[in-house]
Amino acid sequence: MTLLDGKALSQKIELGVHAGVKELKSKTGSVPGLAVILVGQDPASAAYVNMKKKACDRVGFYSVTHEMPEDISQDAIENTIKMMNNNPNIDGILIQLPLPKQIDTTKILELVDPSKDVDGFHPYNVGRLATGLDGFVPCTPLGVMKLLEEYNIDPKGKNCCVVGASNIVGKPMAALLLNANATVEICHIFTDDLKKHTLNADIILVGVGVINLIKEDMVKDGAIIIDIGINRADNGKLVGDVDYENVSTKCSYITPVPGGVGPMTIAMLLSNTLKAAQINYKEKN
């Protein structure tokens, strides 16, 4: 069994992004800019935004976080996004999800300029991904593909079972695998007999937020396991959606939690923001 080390790869990608920032600065005198909207006081969201801020500092980005109260109005967020869309110093805009119930999340995501949509959530970029065209791809599934590539795991022709059908992870993950010529099944909360599907899979990719959802008897020998879930167990320990202790004895490759997919998500955010800045520079010149 080989661990798919997302922490090591993310550090390697960061070095590449840092070099790209230096090159861009030498050409333009400016650096990539990332703006984040954080609404409310959710500790997990705040911690995640803080990690993104530190990563931006490490690679030399300009970054700003717009912290807004839980009871913020739709208009106030929309006005902030419009301001960022028009700000030439901002190359990437990130809306930290989830947003409060009074906010129309779809409308907010659609308001972000697609050329600054470094999270890949705008319908324009979703459509480009679905049709195999270049655009911005959601960071977590993109990070999974980079991790597979780093370990020379080619999804082409493999049976892949994606467990979870969210717009943020499951659907774009399936699209990326399909674009890589894999045979893809998507399972979700209404899937009858999940085990029947996972047992047939060469690669299982799971991200639903259920501790120990994927157990040893659901995995065939030699399967590749990508655990995208992140949960806090009763003892305070961070764990994924896979029964790591027992499943790891059967599989050929597995991502640890933490240290697998998580660091890759932030690395891809940096990579996407650099890409946006480079495109922005080319379009101006």
Q: Does 154 participate in catalysis according to the annotation?
A: no
The count of domains in the chain is 2
> How far from the centroid of its chain's Cα atoms is residue 110's Cα?
18
Q: In the annotation, is 96 catalytic?
A: yes
pLDDT digits (tens, 9 = 90+) for 223-233: 999 999 999 99
7 in a domain, yes or no? no
Q: Which pLDDT score, from 0 to 100, does residue 171 have?
A: 98
Q: What's the CATH code of the domain at 72?
A: 3.40.50.10860
pLDDT, tens digit, for every residue of 172-214?
999 999 999 999 999 999 999 999 999 999 999 999 999 999 9
Structure tokens at 88: 């030439």
Cα dihedral 239, 46, 68, 65, rounded to 10, equals -120
User: Pick the catalytic residue: 91, 96, 146, 227?
Assistant: 96
**DSSP classification of residue 27:** H
What is the pTM for the complete model shown? 0.96
Helices (H), 73-138: 74-85, 105-111, 123-130
Q: Which residue has the tokens 């700003």?
A: 64
Structure tokens at 258: 């933490």
Tens digits of residue pLDDT in 41-91:
888 888 889 999 999 999 999 999 999 999 999 999 999 999 999 999 999
Q: Which domain holds residue 37?
A: 29-115
Q: What is the pLDDT of residue 284?
A: 73
Bridge partners for 34 per DSSP: 63, 92
23 lies in some domain: no
First-to-last alpha carbon distance for the chain, in angstroms, is 49
- Compute the mean pLDDT over every residue in the chain, rounded to the nearest whole number: 96
Which residue carries 């679905």 as its tokens? 130
- Catalytic residue, chosen from 52, 116, 146, 158, is 52
The reply to whether 143 and 256 lie within a common domain is yes
Token pair, residue 255, equals: 């991502």
Q: What is the tens place of the pLDDT at every residue in 124-169?
A: 999 999 999 999 999 999 999 999 999 999 999 999 999 999 999 9
The Cα 9–Cα 5 span in angstroms is: 7
SS3 state at 23: helix
Residue 155 lies in a domain: yes
Residue 128, in any domain of the structure: no
Beta bridge partners of 68: 39
The predicted pLDDT at position 218 comes to 98
- What is the CATH classification number for the domain harbouring 209? 3.40.50.720
Beta strand 159-163 pairing with 183-187 = parallel
Which tokens sit at 63? 């970054």
- 194 and 92, same structural domain? no
Q: Which of 91, 117, 119, 202 is catalytic?
A: 119
Residues 237 and 184 in one domain: yes
Q: Span 105-111, mean pLDDT?
A: 97
- Does residue 17 sit in helix, strand or coil? helix
- Mark whether 217 is an active-site residue: no
